[in-house]
Structure 1
């Protein structure tokens, strides 16, 4: 169904050409601490840009010619990020936003001093036999304070507060009664564990940030310089713009694509939603629904292969698996998530009688590929390199080079020298927030390894649930959604993987699936009230109530919320465990039908508005299709089929 009434062409052109709306930066800065950079000019601006460029070049060099020893690589990475944290982020909202204060310079000096100290003594540490010197403790204590302050500036106060709670738990465990009590540790022992081992600040999470995550963020920065966003937007408009509810489907399509090069749900909402939300409203979608569509679509970008959120790289390292395995495992869950979102949008459009955008105003798909199709080569290239067996580090390094080369296939997409510099600077800035989250979450991981808190917490979950898998899954989901209220996705996943995933694994859940369950809900916490930053951002653009958008986002994402449970009971959907080809095909078919049926039941529409018994029967049938087993599949299929044919018959009679 095509709309005969022309839509403001300037709005469509602005979306396609990726022209920034005036309030996009302000919206992102309001809801995402990581984007609240100072704005510099003059010599200070050149100094900060120089540090960013040096950081990016260091990571490019080590990616291509060999990573340094673990602590050395992580230490240099952390030192760069500490320095940039104190230069880029003000100490507070009222503290002279664009002016670097004298105490910022002191913190910068201390950061360089501590980083240099560790590099100097590193080789001597092995000869000490584990004996620490007083200066080690002093420097380690300073580093802990620097990391907490830098994380407060870059990610918000919630993560440092949680880290301090874990520190208090380690120090005063002998005063805690019951199962959570322990013998307690001295401050010196705790600092030593955090500073001089790879189980604290310099742990696995920071190691992943110092290698894979940084290179993929830099890869995204170079893709942005080629005009990849314009290509994605044009392609989305061409493919989905003319169908019923076109702008909403464009939002899903574009947000999923852009999410591959932008790991932030909030930034994705602000960038894409600034254009798609007004377009959705212009054809008749209600403001809160338009905002919810964009929030759900943008959040899904973090679970969309091939380039997923930063937490996916941490997951690969935690599990000792290749990123390729993680990427392949994510394909079906991501597809089901977007299928649910797309179905509900389509049915909402049919229910409201909404049409698409006029085809005369939309770009031609063939023309889009002729002019910009070469920009898809880097995406294809990185998938091919990962499937070929290269590490994510090498794959990202070679794909960055490929991106630069490919950009020169068209003059309009060529990366100039200034574009190259901008990409280096943007990559470094974009990594600071993630790096500080990974560093400060080292307190959580370090204390958990020191006190066995993860095992204790997991044991209590199992005790409370009486070893019932479904109850344990629900408790884990609630834990992740609560953690996600205040923590960035990466930090939320790491905490969940440390304290909650072991309980699932103990109940027999495959480790890959258990960690994916935790990761999935760390991402979806962006949608669920009371704190749902992606939904709040969309609400600000849509001019709707934040909580109304949040609850609508949750409703739109409900089918997607069931996907992790589905994967636990049918791990073959993540290509995990042992299974036959027939079982895999059966699971895929029933999952797809179940997701569509559940979406229709929630939307209360198929060919027409559902009668009460139809809606109830379809809901039950959808859930039965999602439960493994041939009997439940047959029963669910019959239930859904009855509703489908009944609605189809009445629709034909009406016509």
Structure 2
């Protein structure tokens, strides 16, 4: 029996690997042998040391650091990612054309580092060689993007071409056109193109936190999270689904990739949910929606929060606090949904024999939570996220040495470093590509013109209509794009629109972030749902639709905090503790009602009228206004009394 289960587990993992190779470029990596493999490992470790050194005690100007970082990103894209799908994954030697591209990468970005000061001092005057290097550099970035993030590279090409062909676009979105010299200068030699805010964040926050997540993983933290989740909710109805929600939330916020998180945790949680009694589509949807939310779940938020803090010009702690309530309500809705679905199906939790003992789990691996506590504590005390993250990396090493079972030896440290650096490549290249998009937006005034167009359509003060248009745009632009990249693209174009129609800056940024992330479960390009469906052998469209139902809070809540930022804790000044707690409690009640209405189950199974009333109650309670809260709770009390007096059907509590 164990051999059969082991064989099935291996088949599931192989299927997940194949799906990832189809959906996620991170998994289409060459596997070298012999000296080439050792050379790649040395380069990746050297890059990690370089990044940590110059992000802490080393001194280097911002453009040079970004240029070196971009050089490593593009170089590793050609070194590790095959240029064609037909190329064999395992090769003994590097293809000649990729060797040439690597050589050009070193030459072009090295040329920029040594000549940037001259160009800056000359007021931006470029000679013929400068222009040629800029053209080659943009080509190299696009080719690296094609290999690591194809959808985003295609989008970057469209934006880049708009610089020349936008003069043929009629109306307010068009422009008079720009010369090749102007575009190359702006995109490669300026500070708003390739070497703008996107690559700046990748060279600092993203790389460091991806490395931190890798160290946590190899210290055994992932197993600790899974075991703790089992002890907390494993024995309750639908226990395996709740374990998947909690584990995916905690792990997803660290790796910042919903797709990769589905493929790693999903190979364990999805079969377990199916064996418990959940249908294939539901099991896959739970994993997809839980992994997606990790990208906006504090304290790490998949490193997206640091980008937001840069845009807003505020301390990251403020972003972290503001994101708490949306993330909490999002996951509360999922937990309630899986619980009600379990009661509706009559499912039980795991048996006592399959649940680890809490004290033993804490005794064996509880010390591994120390780095996370140190990270959060240092950021709250006012230390920079970079300093806090680097400290947390070293504290992970020290914490792992507390017990023999978790001790990270030299080989494990090297493996964590290599995996972390490798994991930062595709996201980093996406950030470089973002530079071309943001550079186009700034050069052509596309963002400003788009804002004027929206204002003409919806009118000033039409917050909900403007938000609806931005929601659609955010989901479309976020499809098939890593969370960080999706947010930056949407923020560059859509945030000014929301601010112009009356939203606060924090609400506008959080609105764009959440919808950009939710594109992972929104058809037709619901990549997280599709990978989960492949593991569960379920229908992809049904899985995506169920995932949207489970994540209904995420689709509704942003409109409420767009209108009333009170739901973003700390973003409104002079708010009393009582009002904050009332908002938290009533919003939680509202989310529970939304989940109950969507599932058709409260205390007992609900009629259609009751389901509609529960959804209305949910909307009333989520709204922070006192009047709507009181009205919603009164209606809920009436529904509850009627449900308690009804006969038949099993209780949901």
TM-score range, shorter chain: over 0.9
Equivalence for 1:576: 571
Match of 1:46 among 38, 53, 64: 38
Per mean C-alpha deviation after superposition, the further-off stretch among 320-329 and 546-555 is: 320-329
Contact 2:244 2:290 in 1 (8 A): yes
1:9-60 deviation per Cα after TM superposition (whole angstroms, max 9, x unaligned): 9979x99xx9993433223222212221111111111111111111101011
Offset at 1:8? 7.6
2:431 to 412, 429, 438: 438
Q: Pick one of 416, 419, 443 that aligns with 2:412.
A: 419
Query: Residue 57 of structure 1 is aligned with which of 34, 38, 49?
Result: 49
Q: Which runs of 4+ in 1 moved over 6 A?
A: 7-12, 652-655
**1:636-655 equivalences in 2 (<5 Å):** 636-650=632-646
Q: 1:374 to 1:481 in 2, by over 3 A?
A: same
Which of 89-98 and 623-632 deviates more?
623-632
After the TM superposition, which residues 85-164 of structure 1 pair with which residues of structure 2 at under 5 Å, given as runs? 85-99=77-91, 100-156=94-150, 158-164=151-157
Q: Following superposition of structure 1 onto structure 2, how do residues 447-462 of structure 1 map, counting pairs within 5 Å?
A: 447-462=440-455
What is the CA–CA distance in structure 1 between the aligned matches of 2:350 and 2:551, rounded to whole Å?
Answer: 25
Distance in 2 (alpha carbons) for counterparts of 1:49 and 1:391: 30
Q: Residue 110 of structure 2 aligns to a residue in which SS? A: helix
Select which of 18, 22, 25 maps to 2:17: 25
Contact 2:586 2:629 in 1 (8 A): yes
Which consecutive residues of structure 1, in runs of 5 or more, have no partner in the other structure? 1-6
Confirm or deny that 1:509 pairs with 2:503.
yes
* Aligned residues of 1:20 and 1:271 also touching (Cα < 8 A): no
Q: 1:86-485 maps to which residues of 2 (within 5 A)?
A: 86-99=78-91, 100-156=94-150, 158-467=151-460, 468-485=462-479
Query: Counterpart of 1:4?
Result: none
Deviation at 1:188, TM superposition (A): 0.9
Greater shift in the superposed pair: 352-361 or 609-618? 609-618
Cα drift, residue 227 of structure 1: 1.1
| C-alpha contact 1:9 1:361 (8 A) present in aligned 2 | no
Does 1:625 pair with 2:621?
Answer: yes
Q: Give yes or no for contact 1:607–1:651 (8 Å, CA) kept in 2.
A: no
d(CA) in 1 for partners of 2:548, 2:149: 24
Contact kept in structure 1, 2:344 and 2:650, CA below 8 Å: no
Q: CA deviation at 1:573?
A: 2.0
CA RMSD, 1 decimal: 2.1
Distance 2:144 2:586 in 1: 48
For the residues of structure 1 that align with 2:441 and 2:173, how far apart are their CA atoms?
11
The answer (yes or no) to whether the contact 2:196–2:435 under 8 Å persists in 1 is yes
Distance change (3 Å), C-alpha of 1:287 and 1:20? closer
Moved more, 362-371 or 586-595: 586-595
Q: Aligned residue pairs: how many?
A: 646
- Taking a change above 3 Å as real, the CA distance of residues 651 and 216 of structure 1, as seen in their structure-2 partners, is farther
SS of equivalent to 2:479? coil
The worse-fitting range, judged by mean Cα deviation, of 399-408 and 176-185 is 176-185
SS of match in other structure, 1:64: coil
Deviates more, 1:123-132 or 1:514-523: 123-132
The aligned residue for residue 598 of structure 1 is: 594
